[in-house]
Each structure stands twice: as C-alpha cells, then as structure tokens.
Structure 1
Amino acid sequence: MEWINKTTLSNASNKDLGHCDGHCRTILITLYGGVLLGGTAGAITMSCMMLKRNNQSMIAMIVLNIIVLHSILLVSLPFRLSYYVLVVWEFGFFTCRLVSGIIYGHMYFTFVFYVAIVILRLLIYFKKLQMQQFQKYHVVVLCISIWMVGSVIFLPFFFLQYGINPIYSEQRCFEFYKDLNRREFVILNYSMIVIMMTTVVTLFLIQMGVIVQLVKALWPDLWAHQEYRAQIKSFFFLLVIVVCFIPHHVFRVHFIQNYSETGNSELVLYNEIFVALTTVCCLDMLCFIGGVIH
C-alpha cells in the first residue's frame, strides 16, 4: 500500500513538473552531476596545492574564499540531483528554500570575489596599489567585509521574503520563479541584472585595453612576464562570469517579461537550465590545475 501511494505521488509530481520532462531532467542531472564531480575534484586538489605551497598572497586568500563558496554549493547539489531523479522532494520545505537559495547566494558571492581579484590586479597595474603596502590582514578584512555585507543583505531577504508564498507544495521544489509576479522581486531582479552587466562590461573593456597594451609592449615573449600572466588570469575570471553568469541574467530579462503573462512552461525549462549553468563556475579550479592558466 505504501509503495502504491508513493508511486501515485511520484506520478502526480511528474505531471505537475510538466515543464521539466524526462529530457529536461536528463540535462539537469548531467549538468549538476558533472559539476559535482569536477567541482569536488578541483576544490580538493586546489586546496591541497595551496596548503603545500603555503601561499599567503592576497589573490590566494581570495581564491580560498571562492573554494569555500564552491564547497557550500557542492554540498547542496546531491539534494538537487535526488529531486530530479525521484521527481519528488523529500527533505522538507525549509531545506528546499535553503538549497534553492544557496545557488543564488553562491553566484553573487562568487561574482563579488571574482570582481575583487580583477580590480586588485588592475589597481596594481595602474600603480594605484603597491603589493608591498598590501598586508595579509588587509585581505582578511576585505574578505570578512564581503561576507558580512553579503550576509546582511542576503540572509534577511532569504528568511523574510524568499519562498514564503503559501502556494508552494511540500512535494515540489525549485519553483520560486513564481514569486516574479511580485513587484519587489521584479525590481530586485532588474537591479541585480543592471549591476552585474554594467560591472562586467566596464571591467571587460578595461581588462582588454590592459592586455592589448601589454601585448604591444612585451611581444613576443609575453608568457615570460609575470605582469602579463597576472592580467590573463584576471581575464579568465571575467570569462567565467561571461560564460556562466551572464547568460542567466540576459535570459532573466526575457523570462520576467513573458512568464507572468503567458505561464509558458518552455520558458521555465530554459530558466532551470540557465540556473544550472551558473554552477559550472565551480570547474574554474580544474582549469587552473589542468594548465589552462599557467
């Protein structure tokens, strides 16, 4: 009897999740599964390498914070995989909110730390900041400030606003896009889109200008110069943002404008995939270890 009830519940949930059919779930399981395996391998290996080298530079300290962020996200991915495999959420509504919130918290915190690396290297390049003047405690203060400011903004929003609508079911999860019918969420989303897009475009143009100048000045022995390698690493972090975060925010504009009017299930499917794409940034450490950035 219990088996029959569970099967009925699963079938009902599958019907309710019509926007995410078997093909959709296969894509999401593949994406999250690959990120879980690759991200875990990258985080562990990079952590071991940093411990062996005992690197206490400002960039290394920020990278350590990024590894912590990746680790928090990776811990939440088995819950997502379980949901898309079983098509039933079995961990309670608060856990659903938490797992769903982690993916967005991870994206925006990681974005801030990526931007911090890029800005610090640009300040050093333009002689606005001297490495000798930048002590370890400065980096510690910077990282703690990012965590505290981000938490002050994110936690009250999560506990007081995110996913509190009574329409959500205990057996389904990751449907908080329905909150986009609320005006304050639309404003919040548009604000985050504008901030991220403006920041990325500005830094991308400055970074490309710096790289072009260095190419002209140092050609042909580019890789022999540490300054050039440092700017290429910064460009890599910007590239990760462009590949992993920007598609989600560009699509978000289209999603906000069309979902509330049509309830288009296809838009929901694409939204889930773009959200999953943001987690691919967890593979950044594998790129370093694999020699993409030397």
Structure 2
Amino acid sequence: MESMNTTTLSNASNRDPGHCDAHCRTILITVYGVVLLGGTAGAVTMSCMMFKRNSQSVVAMIVLNILVLHSILLVSLPFRLSYYVLVVWEFGTFTCRLVSSIIYGHMYLTFVFYVAIIILRLLIYFKKLQMQQFQKHHAVVLSIIIWMVGSVIFLLIFFLQYGIDPSYSEQQRCFEFYKDLNRREFITLNYSMIVILMTTVVTLFLIQTGVILQLAKALWPDLWAHQEYRAQIKSFFFLLVIVVCFVPHHAFRVHFIQNYSQREKSELILYNEIFVALTTVCCLDMLCFVGGIIH
C-alpha cells in the first residue's frame, strides 16, 4: 500500500510543472553529490592543515568560520539528496524548513565572511590598518558578532517566516516555499538582499581589480615572489567564488520574482532550484586551496 502511494505521488509530481522533473532532479543530484564529496574532502583536509600549522592570524580565524559554515551545509545535503532520489520527503515539515533555511543562511553568512577577508586585505594594502593592530581576539569578537546577527536574521526571517503556510504540511514535498513570494514583505526583502549583494560585489570587484593591476605594474616580472600580490590574488579568488556561485542566483531571482506565476511560469521554479543548488558549489573553495589551484 505504501509503495502504491509513493508511486502515485511520484507520478503526480511528474505531471506537476512546478515540481522538479526527472531531468531537474538529475542535475540537482549531480550538483549536490559533487558538493558533498568535494566539500567534505576539502573541509577535512583544510581542517587538518590548519590544526597542524596552528595559525593565529586573523584571516585563519575567518577561514575557520567559513569551514564551520560549510560543515553545517554539508550535513544538510544528504537530506536533499534523499528527497531528490526518492521524490518523497520523509522527515517532516520542521526538518524541511530547517534544511531549506540552512542553504540560505550558509550563503549569506559565507558571503559576509568572504567580504570580511577582502576588505581586511584592502585596508592593509591602503595602509588604513596595520596587521599588528588587528589581533586574534578582535577576529574572535568580529566572528561572534557576525554569528549572532546572522543567527537572529536566520531565525526571524528564513526559519520562522518562510514555509509557514498550512498547505505545505499537506503534501510529502519539500523546498517548494515559492508561494511565500506572493507576500509583499518577502518581495521587498528579496530585492533588498539582491541590491546589497550586487552593489557590494561590483564595488569590491572594481577596487580589487585596480589593486591587482597596480601591483602587477609595480612588481613585474617577479609577481609571485611578493606576499602582498599573493594575498590580493587570494582575495580576488574569493570574489570569483561569489561571482560564480552567488551572483547568478540573485540575478535570476529578479527575473523569477517579476515573472513568477504558479500557473503560467511554473517552469521558473525548476530553474530557481538549480540556481539555489549552484550557491552550494562555494563549498569547493577549500578543495581549490588544498589542491593547489590557488596557492
């Protein structure tokens, strides 16, 4: 009887254009599977390297925070994979909302820590900050503040507000909270986050590119022999991660909000899920460092 119910639900889901079809699920399973394996390998290896070096630098403390964020997301990915493989959510509404919220909490907190590294190195380059003035306890305090503010926002917005419609608990599905975008406050919230992220990325990208070009001109041809140049290249790498993983989701989000309609534009829901999955690829950043892509 249970098998018949699952088959019926699966067939109904495939007929629903707003539900992730077989092709969509294949893409999501592939992306989440690669992120889970690669992200776990990178996080474990980087953690071991940091433990052996016992670095006390500010950047190392921020990277440690990013590792914690990646680990939280990686723990949630098996739930997502289970759903896209079985086509049925078996873990309850609470777990669905929690797992769904984690991916957004991870994205924005990781973005904040990336930006913190970039701005810190830019301030040092422009002589606005001396590394000696920024001690380990400053990094600890900064990390605590970011985690506290981020946790409050995560709790009040992504977890307590998204997915509270009673209709969500009436089906064995998950990650389909797009109906909340019919609420004006969430439309405003989404546009605000998009503007903040895009403005920050464009501003930092222009400044960072200018700094690298200036250093390249001054230090050529022995660029990699200078620590300052290598540090700015690492910052540029974090910017590239943001551009590749976070910017596409937010750019598409504008189109999604403006054109979304459950009846006429439901295929956009499938594309939105794929762009959300792309944000998790940032978990491979540590694998890039460990593998020597960025030294």
TM-score class normalised by the smaller sequence: over 0.9
Amino acid across the alignment from 2:48: C
Equivalent in the alignment of 2:222: 221
> CA–CA distance in 2 between the matches of 1:90 and 1:215?
55
SS at match of 1:164: coil
SS at match of 2:128: coil
Q: If the length of structure 1 is used for normalisation, what is the TM-score?
A: 0.97
Is residue 104 of structure 1 aligned with residue 104 of structure 2?
yes
Amino acid across the alignment from 2:165: N
Residue 244 (structure 1) shift: 0.2
Residue 165 (structure 1) shift: 1.1
Equivalent in the alignment of 1:157: 157
Whether the aligned pair in 2 keeps the contact of 1:13 and 1:88 (CA below 8 Å) is no
> CA–CA distance in 2 between the matches of 1:173 and 1:212?
47
Q: Any residues of structure 2 matched to 1:238-257 within 5 Å, and which?
A: 238-257=239-258
Q: Any residues of structure 2 matched to 1:1-294 within 5 Å, and which?
A: 1-16=1-16, 19-168=19-168, 169-260=170-261, 263-294=264-295
> CA–CA distance in 1 between the matches of 2:114 and 2:22?
35
Q: Which moved more, 1:173-182 or 1:187-196?
A: 173-182
Q: Structure 2: any 5+ residue segments left out of the alignment?
A: none
Amino acid across the alignment from 2:99: V
Q: If the length of structure 2 is used for normalisation, what is the TM-score?
A: 0.96
The 3 A distance-change label for structure 1 pair 39 and 17 is farther
Of all paired residues, the percent bearing the same amino acid is 85
> CA–CA distance in 1 between the matches of 2:165 and 2:5?
27
> What RMSD in Å do the two structures reach over aligned CA positions?
1.3
Residue 268 (structure 1) shift: 1.0
Amino acid across the alignment from 2:163: G
> CA–CA distance in 2 between the matches of 1:123 and 1:262?
50
Amino acid across the alignment from 2:43: A
List structure 1 runs of 4+ shifted beyond 2 angstroms.
1-19, 260-263
> CA–CA distance in 2 between the matches of 1:263 and 1:229?
50
Residue 266 (structure 1) shift: 1.8
> CA–CA distance in 1 between the matches of 2:270 and 2:5?
28
Residue 177 (structure 1) shift: 1.4
Q: Matched residue pairs, number?
A: 294
> CA–CA distance in 2 between the matches of 1:59 and 1:282?
17
SS at match of 1:199: helix
Residue 167 (structure 1) shift: 2.1
The 3 A distance-change label for structure 1 pair 222 and 138 is same
